[in-house]
Amino acid sequence: MRLFPLPYKIWIHTLGLVSQPVCPVCRRPNHRHVLSILCPHCKPSLTPQPYCRQCGRYLPPLDMFQGRTLDVCRFCRTWKTRLSRAVSIAPYSGNWREAILHFKTYPYGDLARQMAHALVRLTKQRLPWSSITGIVPVPARQNTENHPAHRLAELFSNLNTYPIRPVLRFIKKTQPQRGLKRKERLSNLKYSMRASIPLKGETLLLIDDVMTTGATLHECARALNAAGAEKIYAATLAQGVWE
């Protein structure tokens, strides 16, 4: 007789519903509420900050401009991306970075669902929500569905009427992006993906956990455009800090 006759993921999900949630960073008890990803002690990581209206990158306060902030960051002023716009919940640093690392390791508990809720709320606030026709997860290099971006897109899709469309696949081998400069990342991923079905006229939302330079999302958008998609937006949990 099997001790656990149900699939492991169902057991984990059930335990997450009945057990007391804890803060993923400091492990303090936390309230079971979609607005409370981090406990009050760690929540300052999610304090609103000025952000680029194009790529969503969070910007430092610009005191030198006498209180005015720039609408577009210096990277977007010099580089034309395929994305119509991108948004992120917070910078990939501090307690929020620790929470995302926890999600990457364990993407099936309360934290994953809370992050998906937060990403839906952010997308509704900053992107043309009603025009979206499908949710596309950024693919894993091994072209498998067992990775954080797909799990996040799955939860995101479950919270609204938009279908998940895992249509992107890597068609060539690429080097790991870690350690590469911005131009090297773009070159490394160039023409590395393809959409598996026609997407004529669609407006799609790419979902990923962290956006660093934007090279991966840019290549995803190129592949979706090549399949006929009209507009591509992106939503991520965090924006990486890079030079």
Q: Is the pLDDT of residue 9 over 70?
A: no
Q: Is the pLDDT of residue 125 over 70?
A: yes
Give a yes or no: residue 14 inside a domain: no
Q: Is the pLDDT of residue 64 over 60?
A: no
Give a yes or no: residue 108 inside a domain: yes
Q: Where would I find the H helices in 7-109?
A: 8-18, 74-78, 94-105
Residues near 30 by beta carbon (within 8 Å), at least 6 away in sequence: 21, 22, 23, 36, 38, 39
3-state secondary structure of 239: strand
Residue 12: per-residue pLDDT = 42
| Look-up of token digits 């971006």 | 149
Q: Which amino acid is at 239?
A: Q
pTM of the model: 0.81
Neighbours of 17 (CB within 10 A): 11
d(CA 5, CA 8): 9
Give a yes or no: residue 110 inside a domain: yes
Split into its structural domains, the chain has a count of 1
CATH code, domain carrying 228: 3.40.50
Give a yes or no: residue 166 inside a domain: yes
| Look-up of token digits 């002023």 | 77
Q: Which residue has the higher pLDDT, 63 or 42?
A: 42
The top-scoring range by mean pLDDT among 47-56, 154-163, 186-195 is: 154-163
Contact 191, 172 (CB under 8 A): yes
Give a yes or no: residue 178 inside a domain: yes
d(CA 171, CA 165): 18
Q: State the residue range of the domain holding 121.
A: 21-239
Over the stretch 171-207, which tens digit does the pLDDT of each residue have? 988 877 777 777 788 788 888 999 999 999 999 999 9
Residues near 215 by beta carbon (within 8 Å), at least 6 away in sequence: 177, 182, 185, 186, 188, 189
Contact 57, 81 (CB under 8 A): no
Over the stretch 75-92, which tens digit does the pLDDT of each residue have? 777 777 889 999 999 889
